[in-house]
Structure 1
């Protein structure tokens, strides 16, 4: 659990609300976020928040909401995630881990109670945890995100329940029930709309903003863990942080910006990055393929970065790897949909890879594997590849992407997220050979567009 490690006293957010005269005439409010150190911030009565992920989840489903909490003044030591092994069918280990984390957070912060948010399978864990009165007494408020239904709030704790299109009739008796009929299952936990409901429930007032507010580019730091997935167990190795040429994905300079040794718990950071820069995080392990991770710019500090690697015998063993092609994994904590006009688009090397067969709405796709099936240099984009077509939240398509032994070529990957008016975001990556390298791209689950928040 990342939250069980000592929290850095690093940064908080002070919100300055500026109303420029010209914009005032148009009624526009401009919010600027400036970093400050938590050590200099007074203690408040705000409860620490713990997020409990769902099946095949991790802190990735908490990143955006944690940054929205931070944008509204929460400090690092008030935001936690409980990670557990979802390859185990029973919940005893997850319940025990949550109990230990709540005790640790209360001791560290001096808070009498915490607030708990749980998503999907995590709601099963949370309901079992809250069933014990002594544990429920340590929880001020509970948020149930598209998971278990109940006749009454679990443990008698005041409850907000948010339901997606997957559970249009979901309900917890006596709770505040909110239905988001257009939201996907994971989107119900990660969206700005959900954050507005969550914050208002926890704090008794609307947030100042539901956006992720950028920090000064020179103030941004990242921290996180390298993990086997979905076990959420740590990976040791050498982590290299490279700044990139955003147009090509090529490494800028001869040396990485950071080189750190990652221990058995997989933890790294905090590491300074530029909030406008594009970065590659490369995990190097002896005798293993190098794992390359590419991101959109880190516009705000993020201590829940996750570098997820499939373990031996895991799902990635079904990916055909060979020196002549590049294999990609593309991830977003908002479902990829391609059933109707106006849904998501994802272009890889100029090819549209999303369609109703590969990423239908009902499959709730979060991760797309792209590789050359059979290493035959022939692409087939009209069907999802087995066994990925049967694995929850995952899909795969057959696309030949020629590789270069020194990765001197560029593969542009461009998403057009639904509901953004056609805004495009591109991550360019080198064409690493798949027999010696894995390449993962992580798109944000929100777009940087003007909003009423």
Structure 2
């Protein structure tokens, strides 16, 4: 099933109010969350290639704000989230489709055990949808009531007759196996796909978005759709937003619960407890393996200047499990997380207020200072983990200017970098995306320090 463009645009037209409500809701303590209900099946969220479970935090908060109990949800954190170049050949720090199927199967069993439910709903972003389909097709259908695939390249990022063992090849062995037959879904599980109306960088006819400009990919914007599924087009959202945007949340909730959500805005809690995992990038490869011996300090900062308000609210050192926290904070406080991890730059991560508690506030150090940074007195990165920067679609400003390293057109960039001379070390830098505004401080690169303004929305 496809929705008309007019219907989709009518839904998108309500977003300015919804997004404004998200920001205002942090300060408003009067609207209680819906009373928890057990009508909705337990939900397991599945992240994509190179990602981690923390990306689902706003979705988890919205679910909680609609009465879904926190203990009836989970988000998997794949050990090695990056795919192999060849699915059949071992590659350090990377996972095969079988590795992902095995880990997801175990996570489903654990959620069923904890909740006593016979079936669970699965929600996947991008590559996460591959793992979901793989589990369901290969014996797991009886455990899964709903499967929601958000921006999953179900017919490949490209479709060619070479690279037959690349899992992102629509003509490769893996996807041919998932898509064979008249229907591309497994009976007994309700399937929903969510896709972009042309702004998904992994569903483009031209290969320039995968490093092959001018070469046809063999796929189109319709690539994420599946024969036999309910297929919805969410308008001008990008590859990540079709999973993490408020518009996506509405469809995810409605498909699982069978009704509209009571609210889209996140309902704040009076007191917030935060904790998470410290991970790293050994050899330049993103993994979700815990890092021991990292120190984490959390500070309250002035939202207008980025300056610290007093000493650390929390300080801890990670053990073998890589966990930090918990830190008790107020839902109206802007925060600075200082991560000192072995063999990595000291990273100052600035965040907007956290409206609700979370145990997936994961911290990963910034990339090492490189040749491009050699003359910089300070390096400040603006990061958007749950979406890409789209120009001219979005308001994207770093230190009062549109970042030069964000390309216009189809959104492809989730980070922008500002390099400052030594004379400007210590001043405040404003990172603005839409209505979310974070003020960071420029720390001296000479001390192997990098600042990140990490957006929540």
TM class by shorter chain equals 0.7 to 0.9
What do the CA deviations read for 1:156-210 (whole angstroms, capped 9, x no partner)?
4111111113243242122111101311010100111111111111011111011
Is the aligned partner of 1:197 residue 2:251? yes
The 5 Å alignment of 1:410-429 reads 410-417=427-434, 423=435, 425-429=437-441
Post-superposition shift, 1:432? 3.4
Partner of 1:24: none
- Secondary structure of 1:50 counterpart: strand
Partner of 2:176: none
Change (3 A) 1:401 1:416: farther
The 5 Å alignment of 1:49-68 reads 49-68=43-62
Partner of 1:309: 365
Post-superposition shift, 1:360? 2.6
Partner of 2:213: none
- Secondary structure of 2:360 counterpart: strand
The 5 Å alignment of 1:202-241 reads 202-216=256-270, 219-229=271-281, 230-236=286-292, 237-241=294-298
Partner of 1:176: 230
- Secondary structure of 2:242 counterpart: helix
Post-superposition shift, 1:272? 1.1
Change (3 A) 1:323 1:222: farther
Change (3 A) 1:401 1:317: closer
Distance 2:279 2:76 in 1: 14
What do the CA deviations read for 1:239-277 (whole angstroms, capped 9, x no partner)?
111112323222222x31111222233223332111111
Partner of 2:381: 329
Which has more strand, going by share of residues?
1
- Secondary structure of 2:251 counterpart: helix
What do the CA deviations read for 1:125-170 (whole angstroms, capped 9, x no partner)?
111111122x221111110111115533246411111111324324
For the aligned residue pairs, the C-alpha RMSD in angstroms reads 2.7
Change (3 A) 1:424 1:262: closer
- Secondary structure of 2:99 counterpart: helix
Change (3 A) 1:266 1:319: farther
Post-superposition shift, 1:321? 4.5
Distance 2:81 2:36 in 1: 38
Post-superposition shift, 1:56? 2.2
2:138 to 107, 132, 137: 132
Partner of 2:443: 431
Partner of 2:81: 86
The 5 Å alignment of 1:142-291 reads 142-147=147-152, 148-149=154-155, 150=179, 151-154=183-186, 156-164=188-196, 165=198, 166=200, 167=203, 168-169=221-222, 170-216=224-270, 219-229=271-281, 230-236=286-292, 237-253=294-310, 255-285=311-341, 288-291=344-347
Higher mean alpha-carbon deviation, 427-436 vs 300-309, is at 427-436
The 5 Å alignment of 1:266-415 reads 266-285=322-341, 288-309=344-365, 316=368, 318=370, 320-321=372-373, 325-332=377-384, 333-338=386-391, 340=392, 343-348=394-399, 350=400, 352-355=401-404, 358-370=406-418, 399-402=419-422, 409-415=426-432
- Secondary structure of 1:336 counterpart: coil
- Secondary structure of 1:243 counterpart: strand
Q: Number of aligned residue pairs: give it.
A: 363
Contact 2:41 2:119 in 1 (8 A): yes
Change (3 A) 1:182 1:43: closer
Contact 2:36 2:68 in 1 (8 A): no
Distance 1:180 1:35 in 2: 26
Partner of 2:206: none
Post-superposition shift, 1:289? 3.1
Contact 1:200 1:206 in 2 (8 A): yes
Structure 1 unmatched ranges of 5 or more: 1-29, 371-398, 418-422, 446-453
Q: Structure 1 length normalisation: TM-score?
A: 0.73
- Secondary structure of 2:361 counterpart: strand
Post-superposition shift, 1:305? 1.4
Structure 2 unmatched ranges of 5 or more: 1-27, 85-95, 156-178, 204-220
Distance 2:370 2:71 in 1: 40
